Structure 1
């Protein structure tokens, strides 16, 4: 990912300040905390403020399309440079911020999705979470919070959850990724406006190992073939 844990882990005071500011932002006038924020851990790093400022600058320089399908999440989204060409039939907007976790998407949901009043949101997150030791249940709970925040602000907006991809560099995490994806798929199946897309199994070879041919030399991020596969998996669920 773009930022290594060692390079970005903030001090305790910075995390506490970020958490306080975020909690203040989500409090109602009466002092109550928004339901989606209850139990939510602080952002993984306050450095995301730089990415949010970059999105502001991009919007000012190039106004985003009206009612886009917003793709957000970690570097698998951020590095999808052919996104608009891959889905010419719908207006799309890339708001990925590499290295992020699900909780970061929750805290920054307004900057990466809500303010665009999207017709649909596609989220890819959880990859970094499990790599940093967060459990399948934590990823599910944070994902539920993300959807709750979206639906509190924009009722009826459909959300697509992409399963965690199996990458060669994180092959040791395959059991955790499988369990996380199972929880996400089961939960999404019980929701009216949430869909789960399995990118995990199509990216495995006949022996159940991540397909090396879909990845860059770092064995973590996808190459053009990997994104071509994702394109075909995601296209059927997009809102035209």
Structure 2
């Protein structure tokens, strides 16, 4: 009996030794940093400090257990700045499904290496990229950094040619952190060039959003001149929300605004009825450094939810002038009617960081921008960056008095006797809503 039990015990031990390792143990090794660069995609540094190897392995092996749960999320890919925002990004985007795939200390090449398992396996709804600052500390050139970022974008597009990609410009830091302003500017310029003309990628100017006059981080937002504090994360979230709203992830309910007595809506909140592109044959043959499409003949958009080129879109009570893939593209959409009488025009607008637009009043343009960064009215106390602001224009005897949130922009803006009202698109994303007019006796 004892002999039989001994043989059974030996057989059991043998069978156990032949069985595969538990999946979690094997997976943990699979998510470790490769010991050498040989055969890895991209170029430039991959960090292999002990603390980083442990963090990389632990983060990635834990994420592997969440692949099913995180399917279809908006994925944030980055380094410590992204990781530091927390698993749900501080709840900054409400019910929008998010997945944080930031690893502190990671480089663009490291992100490229882990892209398939950490990002593509989630079949993301969209991907937000912020990367490149750690490469500088490791001595990588801006060209190398931009090349890796472009490879990541190419892989994302290959995985899903319809998936929106938001590329955030590298945040400012400091030369004291081995991240000098001139190098960061070079990276951001190369990023801009890499995605120019690509409609799948929205470039978000998060450098101008945070940089001081010297191009460095501000202590009040980046206490260590590298990582944002709560105020910094709040600004980043505010910059992203309008983009997510345009993509249909936020602010999905229609605006039920009703105009005041005596006012009529110029935008019905549902489509672009009453708006048009005017022919601009005078632009033919002009040599311009900025894209400026030629409109051969007037085009009206009655009953349509977007303009003929897709730049202007009616989304849940907003006219969205989307970010142009060229970086800058001048376009103008006008009302189909003119306004020869005295009137009051009211509207609300929201701009992404450094966005540039304008409101045409019978033809002359009143600058309507992200005033804090893009000017010309940089000293406004009531302007709310990346939030809704009210523009009020009162026209009497061909002179317009213009205010933003009650502060005067133009005291006596000269206008012709008649003309339509228009909205310009230039750079960044601009949104307009609650556009209404009241004719004065």
For the criterion TM > 0.5, the same-fold answer is: yes
Q: Which moved more, 1:56-65 or 1:193-202?
A: 56-65
- Which has the higher relative contact order, 1 or 2, with Cα contacts under 8 A spaced 6 or more apart? 1
Q: How has the CA–CA distance of structure 1 residues 123 and 202 changed in structure 2, closer, same or farther, with 3 Å as cutoff?
A: same
Distance in structure 2 (CA, Å) of the matches to 1:69 and 1:84 = 14
> What is the root-mean-square deviation in Å for CA atoms of aligned residues?
2.8
1:177 aligns with 2:184: yes
Alpha-carbon distance, 1:151 to partner? 2.3
Residue 152 of structure 1 is matched in structure 2 by 158
Question: TM-score scaled to structure 1, two decimals?
Answer: 0.76
Alpha-carbon distance, 1:140 to partner? 1.1
- More strand per residue: 1 or 2? 2
Q: Deviations over 1:192-226 (max 9, x none)?
A: 3112211111112355442210023x332110000
Q: Which moved more, 1:92-101 or 1:49-58?
A: 49-58
Residue 235 of structure 1 is matched in structure 2 by 241
- Is the radius of gyration larger for structure 1 or structure 2? 2
Written as runs of structure 1 = structure 2, the 5 A alignment for 1:4-43 is 17-20=35-38, 23=40, 37=41, 40-41=43-44, 43=46
Q: How has the CA–CA distance of structure 1 residues 48 and 154 changed in structure 2, closer, same or farther, with 3 Å as cutoff?
A: farther
Alpha-carbon distance, 1:42 to partner? 6.6
Residue 62 of structure 2 is matched in structure 1 by 57
Query: Aligned to 1:190, which of 188, 192, 197?
Result: 197
Return 5+ residue gaps in structure 1 as ranges. 1-14, 24-36
How many residue pairs match? The answer is 211
Distance in structure 2 (CA, Å) of the matches to 1:135 and 1:110 = 25
Question: TM-score scaled to structure 2, two decimals?
Answer: 0.44
Q: Which runs of 4+ in 1 moved over 6 A?
A: none
Distance in structure 1 (CA, Å) of the matches to 2:134 and 2:185 = 14
Contact 1:84 1:92 in 2 (8 A): no
Residue 211 of structure 1 is matched in structure 2 by 218
Alpha-carbon distance, 1:88 to partner? 1.1
Q: How has the CA–CA distance of structure 1 residues 53 and 192 changed in structure 2, closer, same or farther, with 3 Å as cutoff?
A: same
Distance in structure 1 (CA, Å) of the matches to 2:61 and 2:179 = 38
Helix, strand or coil: the match of 2:135? helix
Contact 1:95 1:113 in 2 (8 A): yes
Contact 1:171 1:210 in 2 (8 A): no
Alpha-carbon distance, 1:59 to partner? 5.2
1:140 aligns with 2:146: yes
Alpha-carbon distance, 1:148 to partner? 1.6
